[in-house]
Amino acid sequence: MTKLRVGVMRGGLGPEYHVSLRTGGNVLAALVGNKYEAHDILITNVGEWHIDGVPTTPSKLSQHVDVVFNALHGEFGEDGKVQKILEIFNIPYTGSTVLPSAIGMNKDLAKKYFSAIGIKVPHGIVVARGEEVGEVITRVGNEVRAPWVVKPLTGGSSVGISLANDSRELVSAIEGALAYSEKAIIEEYVRGREVTVGVVDSSDGLGSYATPPLEVLLPEGKLFDYDQKYKNLIHPVGPARMSSVERRALEEVALRAHVHLGARHYARYDFIMTDDGPCLLEVNTLPGLTNTSLLMKSLSLNGLTLPEFIDYVLTLALTKK
């Protein structure tokens, strides 16, 4: 029987290059020994394309693969750009299409998109490289209450995120975020429990379902940043502590956000559970699939393994547009 040729696209241009290598490596390993013929599509951090170690171009991918499992994160892979390339060459791929990817990648645009349908989001403002520091500090002080969460406007994996309690810390935090993106977003620090929930499309094309929510078990004022996610030997995440009413409210908002965004196949939504209900922080349209990734921890609570999930998502990519 002819095996389905799956190209696993990993690497990429941004600071999440190494996380993508890990996600893609896990996907490649999970494809070994079953009905698939796996091919490693590596995009280097300078934009060179390789397949199974041999230099190639996007126009030649269809000669080697039937479908692409998109294991890229952040810039180029998660912002709609690589999706557009794959569509030009009529190659099926996993994950969201061009527009939902582009919207989800821009934290301010995504918040406006969700706020328009009544979903609670943090108040914040956007600043750009080159703006006068004093004017920025004044504007932030007038429009957003302290403390402030500062992060790059685009990107994921919590790269460049920090918490600022005063003007001095705010300047440093903005500089740190702008090192990764041309713009930064400065948001109010929303108090409550940080939780995350995955949304996966159903195979019958009649909706989506939410995965078991996870809670970030960190003290108040401590952010779940890149080091906590990928370098801390003790991963501070566990099943979310919430009532059935809270869980239904969380799932309802996540599913509504997923549908309104037009996200496809799977995504992850990060929230703060406040006294007034869930506040949506951001969406990740291509969440990591590493050994410590939140989506995989959530799926495992339902007994789902990575090979089973990959098989399911590939089926969605080939049968559900």
CATH number for the domain that contains residue 160 = 3.30.1490.20
Residue 81 has pLDDT above 90, yes or no: yes
Residues with a known catalytic role: 16, 157, 293
- Cβ–Cβ < 8 Å for 89, 65: no
The domain boundary, picked from 138, 159, 188, lies at: 188
- Cβ–Cβ < 8 Å for 99, 124: no
Residue 148 has pLDDT above 60, yes or no: yes
Model confidence at 5, pLDDT cuts 50, 70, 90, reads very high
Tell me if 270 is assigned to a ligand binding site.
yes
Peptide bond into 147 cis (omega under 30): yes
The domain boundary, picked from 167, 188, 209, lies at: 188
Residue 321 has pLDDT above 80, yes or no: no
Tell me if 215 is assigned to a ligand binding site.
no
CATH assignment of the domain containing 69? 3.40.50.20
C-alpha to C-alpha distance for 21 and 286, rounded to whole angstroms:
13
Residues 252 and 168 in one domain: no
Could you list the beta-strand ranges (E) of the chain. Answer: 4-11, 36-43, 49-51, 54-56, 67-70, 124-128, 148-152, 162-164, 183-188, 193-201, 208-210, 214-216, 237-239, 266-274, 277-284
Residue 277 has pLDDT above 90, yes or no: yes
Residue range of the domain that includes 271: 102-120+191-319
Residues 89 and 182 in one domain: no
What pLDDT does 234 receive?
53
Residues 167 and 73 in one domain: no
Residues 116 and 252 in one domain: yes
Residues 250 and 108 in one domain: yes
- How many CB atoms within 10 Å of residue 280? 22
C-alpha to C-alpha distance for 86 and 106, rounded to whole angstroms:
21
What pLDDT does 320 receive?
66
pLDDT exceeding 90 applies to what percent of the chain? 68
**What DSSP designation does 63 have?**
G
Residues 248 and 172 in one domain: no
Residue 224 has pLDDT above 50, yes or no: no
Mean pLDDT of 264-272: 96
How do the residues of the chain divide into helix, strand and coil, expressed in percent and rounded to 5? 35, 25, 40
Residues 143 and 182 in one domain: yes
Tell me if 251 is assigned to a ligand binding site.
no
Residues 231 and 292 in one domain: yes
Task: Please calculate the CA angle 64-13-68 and round it to the nearest 5 degrees.
Answer: 25
Model confidence at 222, pLDDT cuts 50, 70, 90, reads low
The count of structural domains within the chain is 3
